[in-house]
């Protein structure tokens, strides 16, 4: 930028803007394909990849791309952690303490058995139609003896590197994949409108309402019985008082002597 005169401002070009150029696929025997971009970002050269150019080079630059399972691994670890927390809570509400003879709120309840069986089938069962992988065990995910999940990351990494597409299909296959099955189990247990837990809650709420009505009716009957007993007590007290008055009057009567008899002095 230059100052023209005392009041005018003028501009002069110091460098000409140019598109970034990239020779894609160049090697010693071939110049490759020359592509340009108005920014330093290039897309569409390789499926699902974007290149950002940070500088120039007079020699070929080799870019190596490898698949990473870090994201899916972190999601599996989060699943294991969250489920094990749920398992701890489940064991708490279904406990039986022999020493204190106390039980959890869901001890012996059918809903507790259903929850345990549903998750057992989900994590230990086989999946048909989900590709080459048919169970979580093949990916290093299993239930231990206490019912908690364990994750063998080394076994998962091995399976993923061998066939990443099969692993992804196992989790994401529509209707038959693990995610779809897990969602189905969650909906059956806690889904809005049809979940077993909500159904159990509604049943308990109805029982509480019915018991409240029974208590109200019983209180009404007890009040009536109390009133009746108080009236009986009052009437009994009144009768006893009259009887005592009569006995007092009898005791005060003097013996009347027979006619014709005289008293001696």
Cα(241)–Cα(145) distance, rounded to whole angstroms? 79
pTM recorded for the entire structure: 0.56
Ranges 56-65, 89-98, 194-203, 238-247: which has the least confidence: 194-203
Q: Is 93 exposed, middle or buried (0-12, 13-18, 19+ CB in 10 A)?
A: middle
Distance CA 257, CA 265 (A): 15
Q: What's the pLDDT score for residue 194? A: 58
CB half-sphere exposure, 120, CA atoms < 13 A: 10
Residue 175 has pLDDT above 80, yes or no: yes
pLDDT at 106: 82
pLDDT for the residue numbered 265: 47
Between 241 and 262, name the one with better pLDDT: 241
Q: What is the pLDDT of residue 250?
A: 72
The alpha carbon of 181 is separated from its chain's Cα centroid by a whole number of angstroms, namely 16
Q: What is the pLDDT of residues 30-71, one digit of tens each?
A: 656 767 777 777 777 777 677 787 777 777 777 766 667 788
16-27 pLDDT, tens digit per residue, is 556 666 666 666
- Among residues 141, 137, 157, 138, the alpha carbon closest in space to that of 149 is found at 141
C-alpha–C-alpha distance, residues 131 and 165, integer Å: 9
> Range with the lowest mean pLDDT among 18-27, 147-156, 207-216?
18-27
Give the Å distances, CA to CA, from 173 to 72, 74, 158, 179, 183. Answer: 15, 20, 21, 8, 13
pLDDT, residue 83, reads: 94
Query: Does residue 257 or residue 99 have the better pLDDT?
Result: 99
């Amino acid at each position: 930028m230059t100052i023209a005169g005392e009041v005018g401002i003028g501009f002069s070009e110091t460098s000409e803007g140019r598109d970034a150029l990239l020779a894609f696929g160049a090697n010693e025997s071939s110049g490759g394909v020359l592509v340009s971009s108005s920014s330093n970002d290039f897309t569409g050269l390789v499926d699902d990849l974007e290149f950002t150019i940070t500088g120039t080079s007079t020699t070929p630059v080799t870019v190596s791309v490898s698949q990473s399972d870090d994201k899916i691994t972190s999601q599996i670890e989060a699943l294991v952690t969250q489920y094990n927390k749920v398992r701890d809570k489940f064991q708490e509400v279904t406990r039986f303490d022999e020493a204190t003879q106390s039980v959890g709120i869901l001890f012996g309840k059918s809903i507790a058995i259903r929850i345990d069986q549903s998750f057992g089938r989900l994590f230990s069962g086989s999946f048909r139609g989900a590709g080459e992988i048919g169970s979580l065990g093949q990916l290093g995910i299993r239930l231990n003896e206490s019912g908690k999940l364990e994750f063998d990351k080394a076994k998962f990494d091995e399976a993923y590197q061998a066939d990443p597409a099969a692993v992804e299909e196992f989790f994401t296959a529509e209707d038959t994949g693990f995610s779809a099955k897990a969602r189905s189990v969650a909906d059956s247990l806690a889904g809005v409108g049809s979940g077993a837990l909500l159904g159990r809650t509604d049943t308990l709420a109805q029982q509480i309402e019915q018991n409240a009505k029974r208590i109200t009716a019983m209180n009404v009957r007890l009040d009536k019985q109390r009133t009746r007993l108080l009236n009986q007590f009052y009437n009994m007290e009144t009768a006893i008082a009259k009887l005592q008055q009569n006995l007092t009057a009898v005791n005060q009567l003097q013996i009347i002597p027979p006619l014709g008899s005289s008293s001696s002095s």
